Chains A and B, each alone.
Chain A
Amino acid sequence: MNMPLTSRFSTNILQFFGIMTLAAGAVCLLLFMLDLSPTSIAGAMAAGSFTSWLKFSQILSIWVPLLLCSCGLLFTFQAGLWNIGIEGQVVMGAIGATILLRLPEGVLPPTITIILSLITACIGGGLWGIFAGVLKNRGGVNEIFGGLGLNFVAQGIILYLIFGPWKRDGIASMSGTDIFSRELWLTTPTGWRVAPAALGLGIFIFLLSWFLLNRTRFGLRVKAVGINARAAQLFHIKPERYGLMAILVGGAMAGLAGGLQVTGVYHRLIPAVSSGYGYLGLLVVMLANYKALPVPLIALFFAWLAAGSIQLPIMLQIDSSLSGVIQGACVLSALLVHGLRKKKGAR
Chain B
Amino acid sequence: MVPDLYSMISLQDIHKKFGTVSALQGVSLTVEPGSIHGIIGENGAGKSTLMKILTGFISRTSGTISFENKEVSLQSPQEARDLGIGMLYQEPLDFPQLSVLDNFMAASTDGNPARQRQMLTRLCAKFGFELNPGARQEKLTVGERQQVELMRLIRDQCKVLILDEPTTGISVAQQELLFATLDQLRSEGTAIILVSHKLAEIHSLCDRVTVLRHGKLAGEQERPFNEDGLLQAMFDTLPSKTSPPPQKETGASILTMEQVVTTAGRVGLDRVSIEIHEGEMIGLAGLDGSGQSVFLQMAYGLLQPEQGRVTSPLHEEDLVMRVFLPADRLREGLIAGLSIREHHLLAGNTSFILTGASGRARSEQAINTFSILGNTETTAEGLSGGNQQRLLLSLIPEGARLILLENPTRGLDVQSSQWTWQHLRDRLPEDGAIVFASPDLEEIMEQATRVLVFFNGSIILDRPTDQTSYQEVSRAITGQVEQP
Contact = CB atoms under 8 A, between A and B. Distances in A.
Interface of A: 1-2, 215-218, 220-221, 223-224, 227-228, 230-237
Contacts of B324: 234
Given A217-B352, A224-B335, A2 B346 contact: no
Given A233-B302, A235-B346, A224 B379 contact: no
Q: How large is the interface on B (under 10, 10 to 19, 20 to 34, 35 or more residues)?
A: 20 to 34
B336 A220 contact: no
Given A2-B382, A220-B354, A227 B335 contact: yes
B351 interface: yes
A236 B301 CA distance: 11
Contact of A220 (B302, B346, B355, B379): B346
Given A215-B355, A217-B345, A217-B350, 9 more contacts: A216-B354, A224-B346, A231-B334, A231-B335, A232-B335, A232-B346, A235-B346, A236-B319, A236-B320
B338 interface: yes
A16 to B, nearest CB: 20
Nearest to B374: A2
Contacts of A220: 338, 342, 345-346, 354
Contacts of B332: 228, 230-231, 234
Interface of B: 300, 302, 319-320, 323-324, 326, 331-338, 342, 345-347, 350-355, 374-375, 377-379, 381-382
Contacts of B377: 2
A232 B346 CA distance: 9
Contacts of A224: 335, 338, 346
Nearest to B325: A234
A232 B380 CA distance: 14
B333 A234 contact: yes
A1 B335 CA distance: 13
A234 B380 CA distance: 15
A216 B352 contact: yes
A232 B331 CA distance: 11
A227 B353 contact: no
A223 B326 contact: no
B338 A227 contact: yes
A231 B333 contact: yes
B275 to A, nearest CB: 24
Given A2-B379, A224-B346, A216 B336 contact: no
A75 B334 CA distance: 21
Contact of A227 (B300, B326, B336, B351): B336
Given A2-B374, A227-B337, A233-B302, A221 B379 contact: no
A235 B320 CA distance: 9
Contacts of B351: 217
A221 B346 contact: yes
A343 to B, nearest CB: 15
Shortest Cβ-Cβ A-B pairs, 6 listed = A235-B346, A2-B378, A228-B335, A227-B335, A224-B335, A2-B382
Contacts of A223: 335, 337-338
B431 to A, nearest CB: 21
Nearest to A224: B335
A78 to B, nearest CB: 11
Contacts of B326: 234
A237 B300 CA distance: 14
A321 B348 CA distance: 51
Contacts of B379: 1-2
Contact of A217 (B300, B338, B354, B382): B354
A49 to B, nearest CB: 37
Contacts of B323: 234
B116 to A, nearest CB: 35
A235 B396 CA distance: 10
Contacts of A218: 352
A224 B335 CA distance: 6
13 contacts: A2-B378, A215-B354, A217-B354, A220-B354, A223-B335, A228-B331, A228-B335, A231-B331, A234-B323, A234-B324, A234-B332, A235-B347, A237-B346
Contacts of A216: 352-354
Nearest to B342: A220
A235 B319 CA distance: 10
A223 B382 CA distance: 18
Contacts of A237: 346
B188 to A, nearest CB: 47
B354 A1 contact: no
Contacts of A230: 331-332
A161 to B, nearest CB: 39
Contacts of B300: 234
Nearest to B383: A2
Nearest to A218: B352
A234 B327 CA distance: 13
B350 to A, nearest CB: 5
Contacts of A236: 319-320
A228 B334 CA distance: 8
Contacts of A221: 346
B321 to A, nearest CB: 11
A233 B333 CA distance: 9
A224 B395 CA distance: 15
Max chain B CB contacts within 10 Å: which of A1, A232, A234, A235? A234
Nearest to B336: A227
Contacts of B350: 217
Given A216-B354, A220-B354, A228 B336 contact: yes
A169 B354 CA distance: 54
